[in-house]
Structure 1
Amino acid sequence: MDKNFLWGGATASYQCEGAWDVDDKQPSMWDVYLHENNLENGDIASDHYHRYEEDIRMMAEGGQNTYRFSLSWPRIIKDKEGTVNEKGVAFYHRILDTCHKYGIEPFVTIYHWDLPQYWEAEGGWLNHQVCAAYEHFAKVCFENFGEKVTYWTTFNEPKWFIVNGYFIGNYPPGLQDVQKTMYGAYHVMYASALAVRAFREGNYPGEIGIVHSYTPVNGVDDSIETKIAMRYADNYCNNWILDTAALGEFPIDLIAKLSEKYDVSFMKQEELAIIKQYTVDFIGLNYYARTLVKPYTEGETQLIFNHSGKKGQSKVVIKNWFEQVKDPNSEYTAWDTEIYPKGLQDGLLEAWQRYQLPIFVTENGVGVREDVSVECVQDEYRIAFMNDHINAIMNAMDQGVDIRGYYAWASFDLYSWKNGVEKRYGLVAVDFENNQVRKPKASYYWFKEMIASNARLITRRKFEGDKIK
């Protein structure tokens, strides 16, 4: 393993910072959505806003050499006119300075879902003006933090916040409209290219990429019908982000298919030219599970996701495209997430062969209910999960894939969107009921030893077929 390999954890501003209205921060779309719907929120979350030094120090003490975190747009920009909130800028300078103090490499996400409410009130990602506003926000970040950051990413998981917000309707703004989903998807990928252009034209140091919620697609058999379903699923799950960011082009068969029923005239040639020219330097892949599909059979589109932690509630069917199915031989979490490390190895090989860009595994983890009142959570399940997925990464590297970092999700327990704080991912336990006390879990100590050994402590296994050998 390369001695410069980045080993760390990841968080997101809304999910960990708290301090939702402190120091002139403006409301985000998530603040308003969760407050208005009386849902568990991130008003306090992990209180990282006030406890960041403790958290970063614990990362360093755990042997980690990098921290992936996001910048809050409504904390940095006060209004639609683009007024900079100097208190917000100062906060992120404190974060960056603390990272460097402890020998932690910052890996900075510009946008991780928390759109300012003042833009959501104007249509959010359906409004073309938000693209220019995002470009301005990105420039403010580059200008203020550029000397302290080597690795930037434009967006975290466009697929999730666009599809869930505009197609499935379980995230704000809670819409179910294919045409609007197309508008939002296009605007986000155009905005990403604008940020890359600003980064390059500003001659800032470092590199810039994008982070995608990667679900490599498998089929139930080798039939032509299944291969067609797999292509539909791959375009829906992966290609409209990765092809566009890395190759500079939306998948042409996806656009052709959508154009049969929907308007695509909003895609302007001059903007597509910017997307083509300003592609990313690397890709970040968040991996939790694959997508296993069969050909579409019957019924209407159904997209149901498990936010309750009661197994068996998820269902994904896109009419005339594909149906997602469960492998009866696989293990699943309480939230219906398949545990399938072989999918990471296969997916890394596929992404490398297709894009020939350096890859960071920017999120990987397992969410479970845990009793954090004990002195040390004995999370052997998380250790086994991480071991098998890091093993998959090493197998892919053995096959020539250029992988440069691994980030556990998450650095510490945090708010997990509509799953609240019940669904825990952290290497460090946060007792939300007891003054936010931090206590490292067994996985924290295992990760420290694994990093110190340069990954030699990993139990190496080869994946054959669908089984671990």
Structure 2
Amino acid sequence: MKYRFPEGFWWGSASSAAQSEGAAQQGGKAKTIWDHWFEIEPNRFHNQIGPAQTSTFYENYRQDIQLMKNIGHNSFRTSISWARLMPDGINVNQEAVTFYNNVIDALIENGITPFIGLFHFDMPLYWQQKGGWESRETVEAYAKYAEICFNLFGDRVACWMTFNEPVVVVEGGYLYDFHYPNKFGFRMAAQVAFHMMLAHSLAVRCYRSLKLPGRIGIVLNLTPSYPRSQHPADLKASFIADLFFNRAFLDPAVKGAYPAELVSLLKEHDQLPVYQAEDLALIADGKVDLLGINYYQPRRVKARMTAISPDAPFMPDWFFENYEMPGRKMNPYRGWEIYEKGIYDILINLRDHYGNIDCYISENGMGVENEERFIADDGQVKDDYRIDFIREHLKWMHKAIQEGAHCRGYHLWTFIDNWSWMNAYNNRYGFISLDLETQVRTVKKSGEWFAEVSRNNGF
């Protein structure tokens, strides 16, 4: 069978400023929470590799953009570093303006549509020290930063993304201790989540007021919740997991309102965030033009089989337990289940329950450890496993599109092996392999395969 995709389909990849630029203390950039956290707790990072250099996009963006063109990219998502653009929180850094102008112009010159994110986990330390997303002051600061970005670059950026995976900021920083500021408390986490959606909505409102030619959206990591069985208790567990980890962001971003069931649940347990009367009207103004979907793995859950301690703090885990499905296919390096049909289920859910909003797969990918094992005599990484991974996901995407889903593109995570938060370079994801010692870039077999897919608009 041949799989052909709609005319104008976006083929490309995604990255972020913090994970690719490097030059963490160059070009006038201020510290982010990642620079700070690495300084105080380097042992939390794989092989104690921090964000200082990453994959040197700041120095090598022209070469990298040419490589993108060579492997068939017609679109690419990255982000602007708030800490680079506004290092003191107030003034604009002209070196950063020049850099981002050059990147955007180079992408366009090479026929690559720029998708630009405003926030990809990299809170400037300056604003974190003032309370971060716990504070409304940061919300207002973000809105000003967004307006500056729109005015500086909005004439050439076709698609803006306000946030990447806001739920990860909430989970990592305020519930499960895998991101800075390593705090714990559900009500605080709920406040952070609410403030991020307020900030998102302010950016959307501002963007629309400027009447710029592009579109604005958000990137959410949608993780379908599959129940262990059709037992009512398992179905309820799945429903509540979906409320917390998907719909808490998806509903306000696409429908302009929070799910009534989530509000009721948080109210019952006295966990609602503090809000002002006008906030709900602002949330309603934050409905996106375009939804980016990051999909890596499903969430499988079951009804709790053990009781919660009456002294335990409130957590989403009160309502479900994780379930390991027998016989599941795994990526053993990342510890994640590979379930290609999940991408179809997400798209059909958006078709049926979210107005069939225009969307695209903004991230999907396979991290593999020790990829040097797969370097052939010609020096190329023969990553057939990544080709299989992409192909099988594309087949399910194609089925959803054939059934009417408005999916407009596919971006792999990521273009070049990049630094991945605390995981550093332990798992490689790129179409391009990166030699950390020499910074030499080499196209993997998957990059060559993807170039053909893009040129043929299918396979």
The TM-score with structure 1 as length reference comes to: 0.91
- The letter for the 2-side match of 1:363 is E
Query: 1:278 Cα shift?
Result: 2.9
Separation in structure 2 between the aligned mates of residue 196 and residue 161 of structure 1, nearest angstrom: 20
What pairs up with 1:54-453 in 2 under 5 angstroms?
54-80=63-89, 82-264=90-272, 266-300=274-308, 318-333=316-331, 334-356=333-355, 357-372=357-372, 375-433=379-437, 435-453=438-456
What pairs up with 1:454-469 in 2 under 5 angstroms?
454-455=457-458, 457=459
Query: 1:319 Cα shift?
Result: 3.7
The CA deviation string for residues 277-302 of structure 1, in whole angstroms up to 9 with x for no partner, is 2311111100001111111121559x
CA contact (8 A) 1:370 1:377 kept: no
Decide which of 17, 21, 25 is 2:29's aligned counterpart.
Answer: 25
Unaligned runs of 5+ in 1: 302-316, 458-469
Separation in structure 2 between the aligned mates of residue 23 and residue 392 of structure 1, nearest angstrom: 43
Separation in structure 2 between the aligned mates of residue 83 and residue 51 of structure 1, nearest angstrom: 26
Separation in structure 2 between the aligned mates of residue 335 and residue 265 of structure 1, nearest angstrom: 34
Separation in structure 1 between the aligned mates of residue 275 and residue 133 of structure 2, nearest angstrom: 14
The runs of at least 4 consecutive aligned structure 1 residues that moved more than 4 Å come to none
Separation in structure 1 between the aligned mates of residue 447 and residue 317 of structure 2, nearest angstrom: 43
Separation in structure 1 between the aligned mates of residue 371 and residue 119 of structure 2, nearest angstrom: 32
Moved more, 143-152 or 222-231: 222-231
CA contact (8 A) 2:244 2:316 kept: no
The CA deviation string for residues 310-347 of structure 1, in whole angstroms up to 9 with x for no partner, is xxxxxxx9443111212221121222111000111111
Query: 1:269 Cα shift?
Result: 2.3
Separation in structure 2 between the aligned mates of residue 388 and residue 281 of structure 1, nearest angstrom: 28
Decide which of 5, 10, 24 is 1:6's aligned counterpart.
Answer: 10
Moved more, 71-80 or 359-368: 71-80
Query: 1:139 Cα shift?
Result: 0.4
Between the two structures, name the one with larger relative contact order (CA 8 Å, sep ≥ 6): 2
Separation in structure 1 between the aligned mates of residue 307 and residue 169 of structure 2, nearest angstrom: 25
Q: What is the aligned residue count?
A: 439
Match of 1:15 in 2: 19
The CA deviation string for residues 86-122 of structure 1, in whole angstroms up to 9 with x for no partner, is 1111110010011011111001111111010001111
Separation in structure 1 between the aligned mates of residue 273 and residue 120 of structure 2, nearest angstrom: 28
Separation in structure 2 between the aligned mates of residue 292 and residue 319 of structure 1, nearest angstrom: 13
Query: 1:60 Cα shift?
Result: 0.3
Separation in structure 2 between the aligned mates of residue 7 and residue 42 of structure 1, nearest angstrom: 28
Separation in structure 2 between the aligned mates of residue 122 and residue 208 of structure 1, nearest angstrom: 28
The TM-score with structure 2 as length reference comes to: 0.93
Unaligned runs of 5+ in 2: 310-314
RMSD: 1.4
The CA deviation string for residues 360-413 of structure 1, in whole angstroms up to 9 with x for no partner, is 100010001134465100101100000001111101001100111100100110
- The letter for the 2-side match of 1:450 is V
Q: Secondary structure at the match of 2:163?
A: strand
Separation in structure 2 between the aligned mates of residue 389 and residue 345 of structure 1, nearest angstrom: 8
Separation in structure 1 between the aligned mates of residue 157 and residue 316 of structure 2, nearest angstrom: 41
Query: 1:263 Cα shift?
Result: 4.5
Separation in structure 2 between the aligned mates of residue 53 and residue 445 of structure 1, nearest angstrom: 20
Query: 1:259 Cα shift?
Result: 1.8
- The letter for the 2-side match of 1:347 is I
